[in-house]
Structure 1
Amino acid sequence: MTLAKDKPGNPGTEELPLVWYSWVVAVLCLLSYAVSFVSRNVWSTALPVAAPALKLSMTQAGGLMTAFYIGYVAANFFSGFFVDRFGPRKTLAAASFFTGLFTLLIPFASSYVTIFLLRVGAGIAAGPLFSGGVKFQLAWFPQKARATAMGLVMTGPALGGVIANGAFAPLIQAKGWQTGFKIAALVTLTVAVLTFFFAKERGSALGTASKSVRVLTPEEKAADRKALLAVLLKRSFIVGCVAQMVMVGIGQGWTTWIMLYFTKVQGFSLAKAGALLAGTGLVALFTGTSVGIISDLLKARKKPCYIGAVGGFVFTAALLFTTNVALLTTFLVLRIIIGAFLSLINTMQAETVVGPYAGRAMGIYNGICQLGSVIFPVVLGLLLDVSGGNFFIVLMSLATAYLVVGLLVGFGMEETVKVTTKPTAAA
């Protein structure tokens, strides 16, 4: 579905004006993210119940979270081609549809291997999610509002986390882990339908297969590939990939094991732990957009990341030194608020790749980043098995990783906001 008045002869780097429907598209991207994170993270919510029922070790349990990201990482390296070719509307709708379908089949699986393979399949299906969302944002939002849009869309993972913890934890405790997977799948399938019928494309979001887009000449295709390669080999872009890979690893390592930390170490019931994490996670529904607004007003992306790195370290480590519920709640909230500034890494990377190759570039970027999701859950699970369940090692590893991200941003990435000054009149 496209807007006729916004069809250019060939999608490029031009900025189209911000209109009311820009926010409709952003919300659809947000929902696509949210249901994807419900489907992928319902396993971490179900883990305290499902792992004993399936007689899994902690390494095997972490492996089922990693399984999703094995497929997701692999798919990101080629799914950007489909986003650029067919446009983000069809690819995002297909991503949600097949993610939901594979998730729906998991409760009917009878073996660990089958569940593992279905999780891999769900991950492959979700491959176009990030590159498709970025393609939409670059087309619908000019630079002056882009960080705000990125912040709003990236609220989706937080919303998915709140739903997975707040709604699914008591549901799983009462009805079983299989019911949780079935409902997660149905919600994901619903968003697939909404995206297909209500998302619209314009400008650089139009796929190259669209009838409204002029077919590129061989020379133009060669220039396009050359420009893409130049972006991928840029030092700032490469360092940004590594920094976000660590950030994604922190997030998935946290999501996979924090529920178990609160139930096994802090002594919470599954429902109470879910309520605490969902309640504090509500803050993340506002922090992404707020950080984007602050960044757009300050006309800065890089410096706010330093605040996020330090805050993430301090308030993740702080959870190890108290059992007081009020303090735990405070540290969880502050960790989310301050750590949110690191989400600007995604905005910097997106602004680096503006152009008709954005889908491919951001697909490759996200593929590299999601290696963190493959590595962190299983490595942390292995550490837990080897150390006899020592969560001090796990949380301190996650906390220290924040400082690593701060150093990478500080010494390896370039500021992407172009601040222009008006020329002074000659005397």
Structure 2
Amino acid sequence: MKSNDQLAATGHLLSATTPDAANSGFRWVILLVVWAAFTVSCVDRFAWASIAAPAGRALGFDLALLGALTTAFYVGYTVSCPIGGILADKLGSRATLAISMFPLAALTFCFSFVHTFWAGIALHLLMGFAAGAEYGATIKILTVWFGKDKGRAFGIWATGTSVSVVLANAIVPRFALAYGWQSAYQILGIATLVFTTICVLVVRDAPAGLSVPRISGARVAALLRNRNIVFVALGGAGALYGTLGFVAWASALLTVAHGLSPVVAGSVLMWFGVGAFLSKPLFGWLYDVLHRYARLVAVVDLALFIVLLVAFGKCSSTSGYFFIAPFLGAAAYGYTPLLIGLYTQASGPRLAGAAAGFVNTIWSVGSFISPILAGYVFAHGRSLDMTLGVIAAGPLAGAIFLCCVRSSPDVRVS
């Protein structure tokens, strides 16, 4: 069984054989189609939250149980992430995208025919299971196709989540109001099918002339013992704990603890979203420029995240919230392309899919825990400072874990 250094060296040799890959303009076409497919799949993910109240009333679902469908989606998503990552390394990224997204399209369309709560739970569980395999396949594609500018590729691709939230909330409720929620899901299913077809037709596993060897079970086992990947996974879990905890409770903190109107609170959080959107390609560019110091940049970003959470909690004016929000959004999401760069640097292109699946599974744990824990603290104390303190514990832990990441060989495509 090969050591971690040998695994990294293998990735380096794989990259070094492709000097033309980094100069191929086709890689930007690859990025565009996988970004579009990812964005549409995220709209499928967020669609229920945008129309849960009216659709739930029409179906006769208990109001208190509407969020269970979203939870079911993420349970399926978390389970399938490592499976999809290993499939991407064993079968190839394009095949895994097809295995993931064609069923997602069909399941999204079929959700329009749901009449019972448990059928809705089952379909959302399966939708999440189908969608989760996409992540590892996409990360592997970008790792293989991009070299010195892969940080920018990761950053641009990651904006799909931000764009999809806007699209889901701007389009789906209006379409559901005009034509019915069932028609909204049918259109989403068709759109997913169309973009998936385009993606599978256009995407190639690797540039011409490059063969990406398939992996063995022994290599996956060695990957899971890779120190850097483990600490990046734990660091990202802490970071996402902070991000999702704040996103889940920011509006309530502003309206209940500081008395802002929902409209004003929404406007503040809109600027938070703008900062988050712009930060991803910006920090991706920083990874490309400072990739040998990506760990340090990520730690500094998480430290700024903590400082801005404190500043947000101490702020007492509406204008102050508007000023802090975009910087807080940038710090709360900017680490994403940095951490993707770090774990793909540790894994190399050959094992990038399995690494992505493993890391994203661990990251999801932070996403699950923080909204519940922050909500418990806020509900029992109504204290903005205490709630933000609990949220800030995540990026603090994340920064500590990232400090344990060691420098590893540069396995970028040269």
Structure 1-normalised TM-score?
0.77
Task: Quote the residue 2:289 is aligned against.
Answer: 297
The answer to whether the 8 Å contact 2:242/2:393 transfers is: no
Deviation readout 1:85-111 (Å, 9 max, x if unpaired):
332123224423322333333344233
CA drift at 1:305:
1.0
Task: Quote the residue 1:3 is aligned against.
Answer: none
Specify which of 58, 63, 67 is matched with residue 56 of structure 1: 63
The answer to whether the 8 Å contact 2:55/2:181 transfers is: yes
Q: Does 1:368 align with 2:362?
A: yes
Percentage of pairs with the same residue: 22
Task: Quote the residue 1:97 is aligned against.
Answer: 102
Partner letter of residue 13 of structure 1?
Answer: L
Aligned length: 391
| 2:262 counterpart SS class | coil
The answer to whether the 8 Å contact 1:63/1:377 transfers is: no
The answer to whether the 8 Å contact 1:45/1:168 transfers is: yes
> How do 1:114-263 and structure 2 match up within 5 A?
114-142=119-147, 144-168=148-172, 181-202=185-206, 224-258=216-250
> How well do the aligned residues superpose, as a CA RMSD in angstroms?
3.7
The answer to whether the 8 Å contact 1:231/1:352 transfers is: no
Structure 2-normalised TM-score?
0.79
Deviation readout 1:180-220 (Å, 9 max, x if unpaired):
555544433332122112212225998xxxxx778x8xxxx
CA drift at 1:301:
0.7
Q: Distance between the aligned counterparts of 2:356 and 2:71, measured in 1?
A: 21
Partner letter of residue 147 of structure 1?
Answer: G
Q: Distance between the aligned counterparts of 2:168 and 2:288, measured in 1?
A: 31
The answer to whether the 8 Å contact 2:275/2:330 transfers is: yes
Deviation readout 1:357-377 (Å, 9 max, x if unpaired):
332232222222223334344
CA drift at 1:278:
4.8
Q: Which has the higher helix share?
A: 2
Q: Does 1:413 align with 2:405?
A: yes
CA drift at 1:379:
4.8
The answer to whether the 8 Å contact 2:306/2:395 transfers is: yes
Q: 1:227 to 1:213 in 2, by over 3 A?
A: closer
Q: 1:305 to 1:368 in 2, by over 3 A?
A: same
Q: Which runs of 5+ in 2 are unaligned?
A: 1-10
The answer to whether the 8 Å contact 2:272/2:327 transfers is: no
Q: Distance between the aligned counterparts of 1:273 and 1:176, measured in 2?
A: 29
Task: Quote the residue 1:288 is aligned against.
Answer: 280
Mean CA deviation greater in 45-54 or 294-303: 45-54
Deviation readout 1:202-246 (Å, 9 max, x if unpaired):
25998xxxxx778x8xxxx7xx54443333112222121112223
Q: 1:23 to 1:247 in 2, by over 3 A?
A: same
Q: Which runs of 5+ in 1 are unaligned?
A: 1-9, 207-211, 420-427
Task: Quote the residue 1:328 is aligned against.
Answer: 321
CA drift at 1:30:
1.8
Q: Distance between the aligned counterparts of 2:62 and 2:187, measured in 1?
A: 23
Q: Distance between the aligned counterparts of 1:394 and 1:237, measured in 2?
A: 30
Task: Quote the residue 2:393 is aligned against.
Answer: 400
Deviation readout 1:366-424 (Å, 9 max, x if unpaired):
2222233343445555666x6398776654433332222112112x21234649xxxxx
